[in-house]
Amino acid sequence: MEKDIKRKPRLAIISDTGMYLNGGIFIFEPVFREVQNFSHLFSEIYWLGYEIKKYIPSGNNKFDQRDDMFIINSYDKYPVFKRLKKYSRHEIPSQLNLFPVKFSGGKSILSKSLVIFFSPYYFIKILMIIMKSDIVFTRGPSIPALMSILISFFTPRKKYWHKYAGNWQLDTKTTSYRLQKWLLKIISTSKVIVNNRNRTDSKHIYSLVNPCLSENEYNCNKKYGLLKKFDNKLTFCYVGRLTKNKGFELLLDSIGKLKQTNWIEKLHCVGDGPLKNKYFSLSESLCVPICFHGLLDREELNKIYQDSHFIILPSQSEGFPKVLAEAASFGTIPIITPIASVTKNINKETNNGIVMYDFSSDSLLEVYLNIMDNRSELTSISKNAIYFSKQFLYEKYNKRIKTILNI
């Protein structure tokens, strides 16, 4: 048994994930769960992310603090950090070693210039971790990922596994993101994981969904989903950041255009963001009850999925959001905008969700009207959504990664 463990490779993870060590770790939950679930494949894991110790609350109002969570509310200054959940030591894989580095970046010119200033520091830290490892896993687009990609050209004996979490098919205006996409397309010695590869992409680029469910979670959620009824009042939910590009205002506009609302029970809004107060004010004039929950932990969010018949994703740009798969496992029907990376998996042919015809409130209004007229079809769509979500199991993801990396 001991010899078998020694044969397992050592993994370096290079990411911009915020982390704070204090009797356990505070770390972004979705990324940590992914690492937890593939940790058994490796003998050692060296994880480099952004140290946020100095940003932890000390009598200021930059954070909401709970026993198990820090939520950062200073969006302009620290846009990278979202929700950090606390994990106790017994929940942390024994192979995991954390290497926090100083955070630099932001929206101001000064903040961006600090990235250049800290570049030698990042380069040395990243190189040290890479040299200790057999396989390097980068999460981008991010500054640490970019540096790792550049290092990979000079360390050909290492296996590189680059995960591009943004929308691979969308042309981005950000110079750093464009550079990273270009480098990933030409670096044929590495394996690149994206949410939706193009037909013209090289063979070293693979389409692979972001996992978010264990097999046990899927089976438990499915039991609730198969009992879901669509013959009474219907409940909708939105899960995401409250920012302009996520389209929540479009959602509110569409509800305001509805002439008949007595068939809607309520709309759950889960998330936080700089426009929360604006959206709350806009919602007060609407005839549909809208519940603003802020950020919720996994158990609380699962209760929202259980209660909801539909999850609405009105954004103009996404990879493939994990919340769609999580909600679908409860039989909650996705309503989505026509984003290529999402419609590849959810469309009319697969009949596991509803696709708006464009990015407008009128398009979403038409979806509501179709729901009212075609209730008899909703149970079938809900069941298809449940079975669709099964492809997001960690177990399936790990199997694909083992094959791709030949481990």
Claim to verify: residue 198 and residue 232 sit in the same structural domain: no
Residue 1 has pLDDT above 70, yes or no: no
* 71 confidence band (pLDDT: 50, 70, 90): very low
Q: Are 166 and 176 in contact (CB under 8 A)?
A: no
Same domain, 274 and 149: no
Whether residue 402 lies inside any domain: the answer is: no
Q: Kindly tell me if the per-residue pLDDT of 121 is higher than 50.
A: yes
Task: Give per-residue pLDDT as tens, 259-276.
Answer: 999 999 999 999 888 899
Q: Provide the residue range defining the domain that includes 254.
A: 215-392
pLDDT over 60 at 279, yes or no: yes
- Written as six digits, the tokens of 279 are 């959206």
Rounded alpha-carbon distances, angstroms, from residue 41 to 94, 401, 407: 12, 10, 8
Report the pLDDT value the prediction gives residue 29, as an integer from 0 to 100. 84
Pairing state of beta strands 191-194 and 205-207? Answer: parallel
Strands (E), 52-124: 63-66, 69-72, 83-87, 96-102
Helices (H), 154-289: 175-186, 215-225, 248-256, 276-283
Say whether both 289 and 204 belong to one domain.
no
Task: Answer with the residue of higher pLDDT: 168 or 329.
Answer: 329
- Regarding whether 158 and 298 lie in a shared domain, the answer is no
What CATH number corresponds to the domain at position 246? 3.40.50.2000
Nearest by Cα to 297 from 30, 79, 78: 30
9 and 138 both lie in a single domain: yes
Question: How many structural domains does the chain have?
Answer: 2
400 domain residue, yes or no: no
pLDDT digits (tens, 9 = 90+) for 14-23: 998 888 877 6
- Of 164, 181, 208, which residue sits at a domain end? 208
Quote the pLDDT of residue 173: 65
Task: Quote the mean pLDDT of the chain.
Answer: 87
Q: Give the model confidence (pLDDT) of 338-379 as tens digits.
A: 987 788 889 989 999 999 999 999 999 999 999 999 999 999
DSSP 123: H
Domain boundary among 208, 242, 274: 208
| In-domain check, residue 399 | no
Question: In this structure, what DSSP letter does residue 36 have?
Answer: H
Would the pLDDT of 2 be above 80? no
* Residue 295, domain member (yes or no): yes
CA dist., res. 402 & res. 406, Å (int): 6
Confidence class for position 195, pLDDT limits 50, 70, 90: confident
Does residue 12 sit in the same domain as residue 46?
Answer: yes
Task: Tell me how far apart the alpha carbons of residues 381 and 348 are, in angstroms, rounded to a whole number.
Answer: 10
The verdict on 158 and 261 lying in the same domain is no
* Same domain membership, residue 68 and residue 29: yes
- Residue 9 included in any domain: yes
Q: What is the CATH number of the domain that holds 55?
A: 3.40.50
Cβ partners under 8 Å of residue 200, min gap 6: none
Exposure letters 2-22 (e unless 16+ CB within 10 A, then b): eeeeeeeebbbbbbbbbbbee
- Do 191 and 160 contact (CB within 8 A), yes or no? yes
194 & 273 share domain:
no
Residue that wins the pLDDT comparison between 175 and 189: 189
Both 270 and 159 in one domain: the answer is no
Q: Provide the residue type at 340 as one letter.
A: A
Tokens of 94: 């024994």
Q: Tell whether 405 is covered by a domain.
A: no
What is the tens place of the pLDDT at every residue in 166-175?
778 776 667 8
In a domain, 257, yes or no: yes
pTM attached to this predicted model = 0.86
Average pLDDT over residues 192-203: 87
The residue out of 154, 177, 208 marking a domain boundary is 208
Mean pLDDT, range 97-119, rounded to an integer: 78
